[in-house]
Copies of this chain bind each other. A is one copy, B any other.
Amino acid sequence: MSRFSVTYRLRAADRAEALARAEGIALEQTVEIPRAVVPAGYVADEILGRVEDLSPLGPDLWQAMISYSPDSAGAELTQLLNVVFGNSSIQQGIRVTGIDLGDIVAARHPGPRFGIEGLRRLTGATGGMIAPVLKPMGLPPEDFARLAAGCVRGGADIVKEDHGLAGQPTAPFRARVEAVARAVSEENARSGRRALFFPNLSGRPEEIEDNLRFAKEAGAGGILVMPGLFGFGLVERIARDSALDLPVMTHPAFLGPYVLAPDTGFDHGVLFGTIQRLAGADISVFPNVGGRFGFTVAECAQIATACRSADGPGLPMLPSPGGGMSVERAADMQAMYGKDVVFLLGGSLLKDPSRIDMAVAAMRNALDKAQTGG
């Protein structure tokens, strides 16, 4: 029986307290009753979490590895995440620093459908990719369509909607997706390119299935999802769908508090790498160093490593740093992230919306030069 295990960083004054906390987590995340009343047999022997290792990390900091039964999680990703961190997320001084799925859970959650190689096959891109973002909210569909066509002309690999485009009255989901998908498709045909359009999935829960089918039929080349608002289960639902057969890009909206405080939540690489990949995302968007969000070089590097490591979960996926990108910084960013990356390009493209193609092309050229060492 292959158990899965989670590594937690705990705040505790000494080994005895750290062990008590670790044993508390093992109970809390599974049976949620005091140890003395855990039923003997299967529940105590198999279901109950087990503290497998406890080691000091520094002053008042300990690392505990706890293993769990695949039976405790069952087949659902939401329940797996619930066992990893459901109730313990509400206790001070517990941070998830690693997840090791083991064979059984890994088989249940195969991860990205496309991964890095799949995205290269779809786009034809051989180096770092660029994904300009359609915004701002409040524009009509035809304006987004015009911007999208310019992005394709300029050499975008992916044309992504802003995560804030939802059901605004000026550009409802269907009218917008239809107009932009058509513009991208026409511009692809005209220019011989293969840019993929990623609309931002929105809708009430009971509309999501129809909206996914609509996007596919309209010609979307992928789907942008916010797991912080819609749940990670939705990412996996899309990744598993062989009829839909579209890559998924995840956006970090609403997820900030899971990483911002060092004593709770998840390490950056776990949240924006491991868990996104486990859920089946092919591309994980996160705030880039040097942008508006204050992530450090080390945090961004940890995310990129977790996205691309050969150890899984599932296929390697593309990290997608957002913000902080410019023609001037292209060479530095290229050096930092290497070629397996999707750079988001945002507001800086919109200085003159009618010439967005030139702005995208300038970035494309700067990046290509950096890649060839030119």
Chain A interface residues toward B at CB < 8 A: 24, 28-34, 36-39, 42-43, 46-47, 71-79, 81-83, 85-92, 135-139, 162-164, 166-170, 172, 202-206, 208-209, 226, 228-234, 236-237, 252-261, 263-265, 287, 292-294, 346-348, 350-351, 353
Contact = CB atoms under 8 A, between A and B. Distances in A.
With a 10 A CB-CB cut-off, give which of A34, A74, A202, A350 has the most chain B CB atoms: A74
A228 B209 CA distance: 21
A42 B138 contact: yes
Nearest to A28: B292
B74 A350 contact: no
Contacts of A135: 31-33
A175 B37 CA distance: 25
Nearest to A350: B37
A79 B173 CA distance: 12
A47 B137 contact: yes
Contacts of A294: 91-92
Contacts of A236: 204
Given A71-B168, A138-B31, A260-B264, A78 B43 contact: no
Given A135-B33, A347-B37, A205 B231 contact: yes
Nearest to A287: B90
A260 B258 CA distance: 10
A32 B137 CA distance: 9
A137 B347 CA distance: 49
Contact of A170 (B31, B42, B347): B42
Contacts of A264: 256-257, 260-261
Given A33-B347, A136-B33, A164 B76 contact: no
Contacts of A30: 136-138, 164
Most chain-B Cβ atoms within 10 A of its Cβ — which of A36, A39, A347?
A347
A292 B28 CA distance: 10
A24 to B, nearest CB: 7
B32 A253 contact: no
B38 A79 contact: no
Nearest to A34: B347
A143 to B, nearest CB: 9
10 contacts: A33-B347, A46-B138, A76-B166, A76-B167, A78-B226, A86-B163, A89-B254, A205-B231, A231-B234, A257-B264
B78 A230 contact: yes
Contacts of A209: 206
Contacts of A37: 347, 350-351
Contacts of A91: 256, 292-294
B47 A205 contact: no
Given A75-B204, A91-B294, A206-B237, 13 more contacts: A30-B164, A31-B135, A38-B136, A43-B136, A46-B138, A77-B204, A82-B229, A83-B164, A86-B163, A89-B255, A89-B256, A204-B233, A260-B263
